[in-house]
Amino acid sequence: GKSSIADRSKLDDEPMGDALYFGAKGFLDYSKQNLNSIPMGAYSGQAIGGRPVLILWAHNNKIKFIPEVVGLMTSVTDLRLHDNKIDKLPVEFGNLASVRRLWLNNNILEACPDCLGRLTTLEMLALSNNPFKELCTGIGRLLRLSDLLLDGLELIVPPREIIVRGPKRIVDYLSRVHAAREACEQVLEGEDPDFAMDEVMLHKWDTQAQEKQINDPDYWRKRYVNVTSEGMVQFSTKQGGTKTEVGMLQECEYEEIDDLKGVNYKAFRLVWDKDRKKKVHMVAGSTGDGGRDKVKAAFDLTRHKGCVLVLQHLGLVKMPLEVLRMAQLVQLDLTSNMVHALPKLNFYSLEELVLDYNHFTLVPRTIYEDLTAIRVLSLIENPIVRLPTDLGQMPNIVELRMNVQFTLVSPPTIVLTHKKQLRFLRHLNLAEKTGAMELEDFDLNTLPREIGGRWDEHPEYHNMVALSLRQNKIVEIDQGVDKWVKLTALDCSENRLGRLPMMIGVLLNLVDLKLSSRQFL
């Protein structure tokens, strides 16, 4: 091939800013020489007298293979490999610790190389016109990246609505996805990022003063729990050193442990991270002999706290493909996007799903059919018409967040105002199965549409045989009563009725009617 010394005649084919490279120390030019590989002397610097290569041009050749020794080029800042036939990069490519500008465009890369995520000094990256369809999430670690060239790529990851917002938004998005994916992969491999285990070691308390602190719940409030790599649980007022922070204690409750015979340990049932309301168990105490000990009662510090993904205010119109692959997610927040539907979800560990401020008109079936671990579901500010009663039968749900919406017809506004929607749905769902509807203490002032004015639209309640409206604020019961032909028991006590329902006489099967003693006075 030709000499590696820069040929000034090439300036006619290069951008004018690159004229500064010619004659610069550490500059090596192998471009446009019909090469099948980069000469080995380039990697060691021997091609320029043993000096480190700072700028390497090897573009417009026929290069197919980049060897592992490329990792020796730790000083290179500008690297041009575009317009070649490179189909993959070695892992060692990630050792280029100084590279700031990298051209990989117009190659045949089968996948976006994961090693790019280790090139944290990158400011410009050109990936245009390659056949891969997904950016590697490691690009989310390139916080200095300000110029990312993606022309000619038919990308499905990240979503187009992220790509069009430019490099900074792409990096921010992929950074969140990358962190969550790594945490999920740790769980998948049995490496819980929060070190949940069956037994952990704890510092014992050596002095009487420390032992007194153990018995004082206030001592534990707002203290950090730390777990070392050896499984040593430590408590401190702030995150320290190389310890793995587990979380800040919010509340604690003193409790004796009876089954630890012969060991003077006290237990605290701790509640931390009040937003998650996650109870955990921790043991601390003293045997009087100092040192360390293993205590089997210290367990379940948390549940994979790291498997959390927050994708707020990104303009997403559907669930991203890369998110659907994270089966180990525990929390997912898609607040303030434009999502209106969900595909079938397989998040078997998902405990909290936040879909606030999106475009849902229906609650997706996959939520109540497939997300069996859900504890908290938030649907605030969505134009939903009706909350399905199946939400009330989700096995682990404890909180259903929904605000009053002009589009929402069920549950009634008063139920949402008093945050009783989950209990309301559970009772309706039970009525669908048993025919017995219990709507007690919901502050209702009118009949719910399901058994009132819209009875004909809800055949699931047409077999209703018992109805309790006890402890509400209902003034009259008229609409729909004549349709309750199978009703045998009706409890209207403790309401504000001024008279009996006008059509109650047509309920020929009614044998049990309950009214308050002073109901019509």
Domain boundaries along the sequence of the chain: 8-155, 200-295, 435-521
**Rounded to 5°, angle at Cα 510 from 509 and 514:** 170
CATH topology for the 8-155 domain: 3.80.10
Percent of residues in the chain assigned helix, strand, coil, to nearest 5: 25, 20, 60
Q: 251-273 b/e with 16+ CB inside 10 Å = b?
A: ebeeeeeeebeeeebbbbebebe
- Which helix (H) or strand (E) covers residue 503, if one does? none
Distance CA 142, CA 118 (A): 8
Measured in whole angstroms, how far is the alpha carbon of residue 462 from the centre of its chain? 41
Is residue 453 within 8 A of residue 480, CB to CB? The reply is yes
Which pLDDT value is given to residue 111?
96
Which pLDDT value is given to residue 518?
63
pLDDT along the chain (521 residues), means of 10: 35 44 78 95 85 94 96 95 97 96 98 96 97 96 96 96 95 93 68 37 42 51 48 48 42 40 37 39 39 36 62 95 91 96 92 96 96 94 96 94 90 93 95 95 93 92 95 90 94 90 89 78 47
Regarding pTM above 0.75, the answer is no
Residue whose pair of structure tokens reads 């601390």 in the numeric block:
284
Q: What are phi and psi of 56, to 5 degrees?
A: -125, 120
**Are both 8-155 and 435-521 of the same fold?**
yes
Is residue 198 within 8 A of residue 296, CB to CB? The reply is yes
The residues with which 290 forms a beta bridge, in sequence order, are none
Single out the residue of 211, 212, 192, 191 nearest to residue 203, CA to CA. 211
Task: List all residues 6 or more positions away from 80 whose beta carbon is below 8 Å from its beta carbon.
Answer: 31, 56, 57, 58, 59, 103
CATH topology for the 435-521 domain: 3.80.10
